[in-house]
């Protein structure tokens, strides 16, 4: 038999809850957790429910009342304020006093005799007053007296008194309350986990002004311009020594010329491995100086965690047991048949020595944390075991909850989601391959309005060293600007790989989405100020993001109606509607597109009878709109998008002041 048979309340379908509570949900500081649950009991008694929550650092449960919505669903919420972990659960109980209130009202209205019911009420109040003390106790005693001594009309009014209900609630009998069986977890990250602006750059790239191979010192000189463009994370592909065995030549050729520098992802040589830096980039000290210097520009340096080795990596000699060896005594190179990666050997996570391997890889992360790094872009996490990542991220974040891991997994949807579920803080997405209106709406709806929203934080990239998307290859500068606006306004986390992006580089290997003369295999020389660059667009868009809190989250995105399939119309607003941004993007980089948008007036609390101002923050143009349907026209050669800040008419403003 059960331990306590008098627990009559059932709590089910608590949301959010990921895989029965096995994995945490994610929030950043200041975000809300809205919890819903089905809470019900047998019979007709009144039910009550609350959310219990606590942070890891403050072990006392706090309680917030849940409100009944409909169909046995209750909702409550709290806001996370501390970095680290929060826990939450749900409590439900029978509210006997409220049941009594409901019954007495119905009986009184039906003209039934309530004499004895009033006595029952006196007993309930007296029970509460015995638990209370001080003024509460006194008040409750007074209520009981009034109920006993007043006439029926008075008594009913007292019975239904709201203050009385609340008072009793403070001394409620929750002996037989039901606690939801699980304590669910929230991982709370810093705000940057939700609002970040990434710039990827190979530190070895050189400028026409500098020498042959870029250095950390050269990178210091780039900081002011990267800061001016509005980026707050500068991410470097691997900065470690590069192997020499089977080094790749330009354009991924199998034979390297003597002066070829190789792929930075072929990590490790006699000059060191994952804890060393490439001598041509400088020293660890130079790197630390750069990290420090970047902070002056509010830029954080992110590095790449690529857990793989060149055949020359020190691990190969020191820990042959961490690699796969073939029957002929040679090492097993990385391959995804028939593709081969001759300059790389994979770590063998099925080794008996997996324990030592895991610890070593953790020590790599710790090494860079000790050098000031708090953000890691993780290369191909889907080719290393899930259990390893789950363990690693948990270990690191237990000690450094501010650390961000970005998962670079371009693979099958369930694998991508699972990596996010097990702990990755941000994730690459399929954005790069979404082009049509239908595709954007479907994909964003999936990201925002399914369970994924609780654990998968998208980071939209316009391009990467691995992906020169078709639309940028063919759509020229208008396409680049269009993709920039989409990435930067659909998602609050976004990134570009520069300078190719802002220089609108579009030369690809034939029939592929791969850059011609890719920086992955050679040192490129970029003239950052060459004509046709879109740096000023980037400056403007990143400023708009910084100035408008509505654009600093992804979760508030809504798509709206526009009667042209080449136009995408969407909006973001702060919860208090003090900042409302409407965006129209022309998805056709070749032709002017026009149409009528339908502004959701009621949702945005815009007076349908008054004109309102929309201010295009991209062009600085202003338009006076009126009502739901308004005309838009976008010539991609001029601007492929409107980013409109809505200014509603304020009371007592004169038209003159308002439209100035």
Q: Which residues have CB under 8 Å from 591's CB, separation 6+?
A: 566, 636
Decide: is 443 part of the binding site for a second copy (CB under 8 A): no
Please, are residues 443 and 431 in contact by the beta-carbon 8 Å criterion? yes
379 is catalytic: yes
State the pairing for strand pair 196-200/233-236: parallel
Answer yes or no whether residue 123 interacts with a second copy by CB under 8 A: yes
What distances in angstroms separate CA 311 from CA 242, 335, 345, 385, one per listed residue? Answer: 10, 14, 6, 21
Residues 409, 403: Cα–Cα separation, whole Å: 19
Q: Is 82 a catalytic residue?
A: no
Over the window 72 to 101, marking each residue x when it contacts a second copy by CB under 8 A and - when it does not, the resulting string is x-----------------------------
* 349 near a second copy (CB under 8 A): yes
Shortest separation between residue 54's beta carbon and a second copy, angstroms: 23
1 contacts a second copy (rule: CB under 8 A):
yes
Query: Is 399 an interacting residue with respect to a second copy (CB under 8 A)?
Result: no
Q: For the purposes of burial, counting CB atoms within 10 Å of the CB of 179, is it exposed (0-12), middle (13-18) or buried (19 or more)?
A: middle
Q: What is the dihedral sign for C-alpha 505, 509, 515, 521?
A: negative
Burial of 67 (0-12, 13-18, 19+ CB in 10 A): exposed
Return the residue of 317, 414, 609, 652 that touches a second copy, per CB under 8 A: 414
**Minimum CB distance to a second copy, residue 434 (Å):** 18
CB 456 to a second copy: min, Å: 14
Among candidate residues 31, 189, 408, 522, the one labeled active-site is 408
Tell me the closest approach of the beta carbon of residue 643 to a second copy, in angstroms. Answer: 36
As a whole number of angstroms, the distance between CA 52 and CA 66 comes to: 10
Show the binding pattern over residues 316-335: x = contacts a second copy (CB under 8 A), - = does not.
----------xxx-x----x
**Residue written as token pair 């708090």:** 374
Does 152 help bind a second copy (rule: CB under 8 A)? no
| Out of 60, 336, 510, 578, the residue judged to bind a second copy by CB under 8 A | 336
Q: How far is the CB of 264 from a second copy (least distance, A)?
A: 22
Which tokens sit at 198?
Answer: 């990434």
Residue from 415, 525, 624, 638 binding a second copy (CB under 8 A): 415
Polymer length of the chain:
660
> Which residues, 6 or more positions from 612, have their beta carbon under 8 angstroms from its beta carbon?
606, 624, 625, 626, 646, 647, 648, 649
Task: Determine, following the binding rule CB under 8 A, whether residue 71 of this chain makes contact with a second copy.
Answer: yes
Q: How many residues bind a second copy (CB under 8 A)?
A: 57
* Neighbour tally for 82: CB within 10 Å: 13
| Shortest distance, position 222 Cβ to a second copy, whole Å | 36
What's the rounded Cα separation, in Å, for the pair 173 and 93? 9
Contact code string over 4-33 relative to a second copy, x by CB under 8 A:
-xxxx-x-x------xx-------------
Residues lying near a second copy in the complex (CB under 8 A) are found at 1-2, 5-8, 10, 12, 19-20, 38, 40, 42-44, 71-72, 102-103, 106-107, 109-110, 112, 116, 119-120, 122-123, 176, 326-328, 330, 335-338, 340, 349-350, 354-355, 358, 382-388, 391, 412-415, 418
């Amino acid at each position: 038999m059960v331990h306590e048979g008098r627990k009559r309340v059932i709590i089910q379908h608590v949301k959010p809850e990921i895989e029965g509570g096995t994995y945490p949900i994610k929030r950043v500081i200041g975000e809300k957790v809205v919890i819903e649950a089905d809470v019900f009991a047998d019979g007709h008694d009144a039910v009550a429910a609350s959310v219990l929550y606590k942070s890891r650092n403050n072990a006392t449960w706090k309680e917030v009342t849940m409100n009944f919505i409909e169909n046995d669903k209750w909702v409550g919420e709290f806001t996370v304020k501390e970095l680290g972990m929060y826990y939450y659960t749900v409590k439900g109980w029978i509210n006997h006093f409220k049941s009594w209130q409901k019954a007495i009202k119905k009986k009184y209205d039906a003209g039934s005799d309530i004499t004895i019911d009033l006595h029952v009420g006196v007993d309930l109040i007296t029970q509460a007053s015995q638990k209370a003390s001080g003024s509460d106790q006194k008040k409750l005693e007074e209520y009981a007296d009034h109920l006993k001594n007043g006439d029926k009309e008075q008594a009913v009014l007292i019975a239904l008194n709201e203050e009385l209900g609340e008072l009793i609630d403070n001394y409620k009998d929750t002996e037989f309350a039901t606690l939801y069986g699980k304590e669910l977890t929230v991982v709370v990250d810093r705000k940057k986990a939700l609002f970040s602006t990434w710039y990827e750059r190979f530190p070895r790239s050189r400028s026409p002004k500098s020498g042959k191979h870029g250095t950390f010192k050269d990178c210091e000189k780039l900081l002011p311009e990267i800061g001016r463009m509005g980026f707050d994370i500068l991410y470097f592909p691997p900065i470690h020594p590069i192997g020499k065995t089977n080094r790749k030549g330009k354009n991924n050729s199998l034979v390297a010329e003597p002066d070829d520098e190789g792929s930075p992802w072929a990590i490790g040589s006699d000059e060191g491995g994952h804890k060393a830096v490439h001598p041509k980039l400088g020293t660890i000290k130079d790197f630390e100086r750069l990290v420090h210097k970047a902070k002056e520009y509010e830029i954080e340096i992110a590095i790449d965690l690529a857990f793989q080795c060149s055949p020359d990596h020190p691990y190969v000699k020191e820990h042959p047991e961490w690699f796969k060896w073939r029957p002929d005594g040679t090492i097993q190179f990385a391959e995804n048949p028939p593709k081969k990666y001759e300059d790389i050997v994979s770590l063998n996570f099925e080794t008996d020595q997996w324990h030592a391997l895991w610890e070593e890889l953790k020590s790599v992360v710790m090494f860079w944390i000790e050098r000031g790094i708090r953000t890691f872009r993780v290369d191909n996490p889907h080719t290393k075991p899930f259990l390893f990542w789950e363990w690693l991220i948990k270990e690191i974040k237990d000690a450094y909850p501010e650390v961000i891991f970005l998962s670079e997994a371009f693979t099958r949807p369930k694998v991508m989601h699972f990596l996010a579920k097990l702990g990755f803080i941000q994730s690459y997405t399929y954005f790069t391959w979404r082009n049509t209106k239908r595709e954007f709406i479907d994909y964003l709806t999936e990201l925002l309005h399914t369970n994924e929203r609780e654990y998968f934080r998208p980071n939209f990239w316009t391009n990467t060293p691995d992906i020169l998307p078709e639309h940028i290859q063919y759509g020229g500068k208008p396409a680049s600007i269009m993709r920039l606006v989409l990435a930067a306004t659909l998602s609050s986390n976004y990134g570009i790989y520069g300078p190719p992006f802002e220089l609108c580089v579009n030369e690809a290997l034939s029939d592929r989405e791969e850059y011609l003369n890719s920086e992955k295999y050679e040192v490129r020389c970029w003239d950052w100020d060459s004509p046709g660059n879109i740096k000023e667009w980037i400056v403007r868009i990143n400023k708009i993001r910084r100035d408008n809190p509505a654009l600093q989250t992804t979760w508030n995105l809504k798509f709206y109606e526009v009667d042209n399939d080449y136009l995408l119309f969407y909006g973001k607003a702060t919860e208090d509607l003090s900042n409302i941004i409407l965006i129209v993007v022309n998805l056709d980089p070749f032709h002017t597109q026009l149409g009528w948008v339908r502004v959701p007036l009621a949702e945005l609390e815009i007076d349908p009878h008054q004109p309102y101002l929309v201010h295009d923050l991209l062009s600085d143009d202003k338009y006076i709109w009126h009502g739901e349907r308004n005309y838009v026209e976008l010539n991609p050669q001029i601007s492929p998008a409107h980013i409109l800040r809505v200014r509603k008419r304020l009371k007592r403003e004169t038209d003159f002041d308002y439209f100035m």
